[in-house]
Structure 1
Amino acid sequence: MRSAWRWYVVILVAAVLGYFRTPDTWLQTVVYDSIAVSGVIAMVIGVRRNRAEAAHLWIMFAGCKLLAACGDFVYAWYARHLGLSLYPAPADGFYLVAGACEVAVLVSILRRRLPARDPGGLIEAVIITGSVSLIAWVYLLKPATQDDELTAVGRIVAISYPILDLLLFMLLTRMLVGGGMRNGAFRLLACGMMSYLAADYAWAFTDHFQFDAGTFGSHLLDSGYLLAFVLYGAAGLHPGIRDLAAPVQVTERGFSRWRLALLTGATMIAPVLLAAQAWFDDNRVPDAQAIAGGCVGMFLLVVARMTVLIRQVERQASKLESQAEELTELAQRDTLTGLANRRAWEQALPLALDHARRDGTLLTLAVLDLDHFKRFNDQYGHQAGDRLLKEAAAAWASGLRAGDLLARYGGEEFALIIPCGGSRLAAELLDRLRPLTPSGQTFSAGVAVWDGQESSEALFARADAALYEAKGAGRDRVALAA
């Protein structure tokens, strides 16, 4: 099944090439409709075998193409069998109903595929479709409304075709500029829609400019429709159809060069039309109002797209700033205990000394060490040791003042900055922390009061020396540095 779509494309493309050799008889109609119906059947079979999500929508899409194929047969019936040339004709009913249903089905598929808001993609689709709409108005819609040879019904039919094509073009553009999966089925479906719309617009402009395409030209234009049917069938047979209608995450995409070129080309269509009409009509612009409205519309849409881009950049900048703050916070936090780590401590201590010097207040430094931590680890295991460190840090932090800073200096050793306090306050504070130590453990501490002149390294060295004095004196006590 994985390679079935490839074989189908090869065989049916050969059939489309063979279509060029068919004479303008019922044989041509049979070959044309056989290729078209094969695309419908292949799509239905592929959707069912691949168990595609929202399979009913794809089967409805295939049904729309079947209606279009029925329209081709009806057209051939009254043209070949009855010898009638009517406009509007019964076949137009099939074509218009098929087009309207196809638009409705694709809208449903896109709503499933892109459930989240994507204002940027929507504005881009409107910009591109708006530029094509201006061309359609000047060369297709306006002439149809002013054609006195058409009846009221004929004008409605003539206007309906380009309107449906514009809606299909907008949905195709929305698919291409939207996010989500771009697998083989997506590409086959998009190429099929491009081929169908290209053939439709080629026929419309051929009729507008009264160009006689001839037998080969007619076959060439018909091959655009046939290739669309082939690509639709191949998309159904492709395994990627399984997830093509599944919801996708709309992400903020970068503004690539091809999208910039596409939007630039779309916004240039209105001034190009203005210049062309002025050139060919001796500086007269018959569609000046429509072109002016198109220019204004394109300008406003470009401003709206720029606004969305600016907001996107602002959101990304805010997100990056938030992530930078989180990384900074993580870089200064001990992963086990959640306390400030040694890096944060080494940054905080000089700042605390500067504040004490400027304000003329006392500052005391204490170094704490859990007693017999190695023995605890050996007896209960490293996991229990980690749990002791974590619980001790939480318990000690709960007994501190708001301005005190407790950090994990390394291993089982902790450092404590006690601002606005001397040795007496430090002793009282440490005595309050001692009974909070979990699991019946104890700690030893060395305390040093800053003399107002020494460096942070010298102050820490005195407190650390006092800690070793406390350990040497039997542990579970506080020693004051000389």
Structure 2
Amino acid sequence: MTLLKPSDRRERLEKIVTAWWRWYAALGALGCAAYFVVPTTVWGQSVFVLVGASAVAATVVGTRMHRPRNRSAWLAIAMGTALWVIGDIVYEWIHITQGSVPYPSPADAIYLVGYPVYGFGLFLLARHKWRPSERGHVANSAIIMVAFGLLTWVFAVQPSLGGGGISGTAGLVDVAYPAMDIFLLGLLAHFVGSRQWRTLSYRLLTVAVALLVVTDTVNNFAIVSDSSSDRSVFDVGWIMSYVLIGVAALHPSMRRITNPNIESDAHLMASFTTPTVVVLTAATLTAPIVMFIEVVRDEPIAQWGWAVLLCALALVVLVMLRITDLLRLLHTQTVQLRAVADTDHLTGLANLRALEHRLWGNAGESTLLTVDIDRFKEINDTFGRGLGDQVLVVV
């Protein structure tokens, strides 16, 4: 029997652990296919629940195995996912025992509790230490949330309420689901604007959240049937979201998802990238576009007018906040560039350009004192330019 060195055992264990996420991804893809292939709905929903439970187990195992610094974030994500799986089990149990599921049902309560728990984990994963530049990403998320909320309310929630107000538990649930999706969408916008985007685990988790929001939105707009007996192709969004959560937790890069310590100005600049500006511009135009559509459809203004008014007001305030941030950033960068242009990179003193500005910009008399270092060329030739530069700095 050959005994392995501790370093060899550790290397072999890391190779085994590294392969786990690939195996889980393959098994998850197989589970997604099996969900639509199995002959009965009961078997299909069993596969659905099994994939969700495996995502919870993978998240817990990955957290214990990789020991990330933000362990509480991953455990909150696992807990939120577990609540959704429990909701799936309760929903199917009611459907099997009673033949139909009332709306709302106890499963809806469990689902809705899972959203804030899951979102809290995402927030812990993406958050930075608060700094003035952090509000830029928060404002970006708020703009997207307001725009998406307006679209959801006017074209999904309000029609489902029959043009009336919120009445009864069913009406509250009809509003709660889109509200939770808006909440996740805001976190998703914060995810994409983060510097942690470089890690594969972070990107996988981002895609999982995006799939969840898209699938929920499709369901909110009543494109997908609410019946559990109808295994729609859009269900792949929910089941794939489960799989991606597990893969993200098992991937070794999850231990490197930490709160980055970056410069304030760099963080602020990251919230003004070209894709971000395009998305924010489209979100800002949501209010007038919705108004135009509703006027063309001749919908009563009493039903949608107040929603457009409130969202337009919120968007104006948020956009003014972003413009203020941009002007402050441009001023800061202008000052920094002027200082760089007038400073010698070696000594940190004023350079020839700064000297010219002082001489020609001074209306009074100026005095210039020149200092020469004797035998400086011999220092460079004998000891090299590196030591010569050090002599210049010391002098």
Bigger shift: 192-201 or 93-102? 93-102
| 1:160-175 alignment, distance < 5 Å | 160-175=176-191
| 1:201-350 alignment, distance < 5 Å | 201-206=217-222, 212=225, 218-249=231-262, 251=266, 252-253=268-269, 255-281=272-298, 286-327=303-344, 330=347
Cα 1:183–1:323 change in 2 (3 A) is same
Q: CA separation in 2, counterparts of 1:278 and 1:149?
A: 21
Cα 1:149–1:64 change in 2 (3 A) is same
2:36 corresponds to: 20
Contact 2:138 2:190 in 1 (8 A): yes
Cα 1:410–1:71 change in 2 (3 A) is same
Aligned partner of residue 154 in structure 1, secondary structure: helix
How far does residue 299 in structure 1 lie from its aligned partner after superposition? Answer: 2.8
2:88 to 55, 63, 72: 72
Contact 2:207 2:244 in 1 (8 A): yes
How far does residue 57 in structure 1 lie from its aligned partner after superposition? Answer: 2.3
Aligned partner of residue 253 in structure 1, secondary structure: helix
1:96 to 107, 112, 116: 112
2:145 corresponds to: 129
Matched, 1:4 2:41: no
Cα 1:137–1:282 change in 2 (3 A) is closer
Residue type of the alignment partner of 2:288:
P
Contact 1:131 1:270 in 2 (8 A): yes
1:470 corresponds to: none
How far does residue 74 in structure 1 lie from its aligned partner after superposition? Answer: 0.4
Q: CA separation in 2, counterparts of 1:213 and 1:317?
A: 56
Query: What stretches of structure 2 of length at least 5 have no aligned partner?
Result: 1-16, 378-395
Per-residue displacement from partner, 1:159-201 (whole Å, max 9, x unpaired)?
2211111111111111112334421011100000011111111
Per-residue displacement from partner, 1:31-61 (whole Å, max 9, x unpaired)?
1101111111111111211111121321221
Contact 2:197 2:203 in 1 (8 A): no
How far does residue 154 in structure 1 lie from its aligned partner after superposition? Answer: 2.5
How far does residue 322 in structure 1 lie from its aligned partner after superposition? Answer: 2.2
Cα 1:285–1:273 change in 2 (3 A) is farther
Per-residue displacement from partner, 1:383-404 (whole Å, max 9, x unpaired)?
xxxxxxxxxxxxxxxxxxxx89
Aligned length: 352
2:154 corresponds to: 138
Query: What stretches of structure 1 of length at least 5 have no aligned partner?
Result: 334-340, 360-402, 414-482
Residue type of the alignment partner of 1:291:
V
How far does residue 12 in structure 1 lie from its aligned partner after superposition? Answer: 1.0
TM-score by length of 2: 0.78
2:372 to 408, 420, 430: 408
How far does residue 261 in structure 1 lie from its aligned partner after superposition? Answer: 1.8
1:81 corresponds to: 97
Q: CA separation in 2, counterparts of 1:29 and 1:275?
A: 42
TM-score by length of 1: 0.65
Matched, 1:116 2:128: no
How far does residue 71 in structure 1 lie from its aligned partner after superposition? Answer: 0.5
Per-residue displacement from partner, 1:59-115 (whole Å, max 9, x unpaired)?
22111101110110100001112324212211112111111212233333333x454
Bigger shift: 16-25 or 196-205? 16-25
Per-residue displacement from partner, 1:395-454 (whole Å, max 9, x unpaired)?
xxxxxxxx89462343279xxxxxxxxxxxxxxxxxxxxxxxxxxxxxxxxxxxxxxxxx
Per-residue displacement from partner, 1:347-398 (whole Å, max 9, x unpaired)?
9xx99xxx9xx89xxxxxxxxxxxxxxxxxxxxxxxxxxxxxxxxxxxxxxx
Per-residue displacement from partner, 1:294-327 (whole Å, max 9, x unpaired)?
2333233222212211110111111122233332
Contact 2:212 2:238 in 1 (8 A): yes
Contact 2:195 2:260 in 1 (8 A): no
Identity %: 25
Residue type of the alignment partner of 1:138:
V
Higher relative contact order (CA 8 A, sep 6+): 2
1:397 corresponds to: none
1:382 corresponds to: none
How far does residue 14 in structure 1 lie from its aligned partner after superposition? Answer: 2.3
Q: CA separation in 2, counterparts of 1:2 and 1:133?
A: 40
Contact 1:53 1:246 in 2 (8 A): no
Cα 1:282–1:187 change in 2 (3 A) is closer
Cα 1:145–1:283 change in 2 (3 A) is closer
2:58 corresponds to: 42
Contact 1:40 1:65 in 2 (8 A): yes
Residue type of the alignment partner of 2:337:
L
Contact 2:147 2:311 in 1 (8 A): yes
Q: CA separation in 1, counterparts of 2:308 and 2:251?
A: 43
Q: CA separation in 2, counterparts of 1:116 and 1:149?
A: 40
Indicate the structure (1 or 2) with the bigger Cα radius of gyration: 1
Aligned partner of residue 135 in structure 1, secondary structure: helix
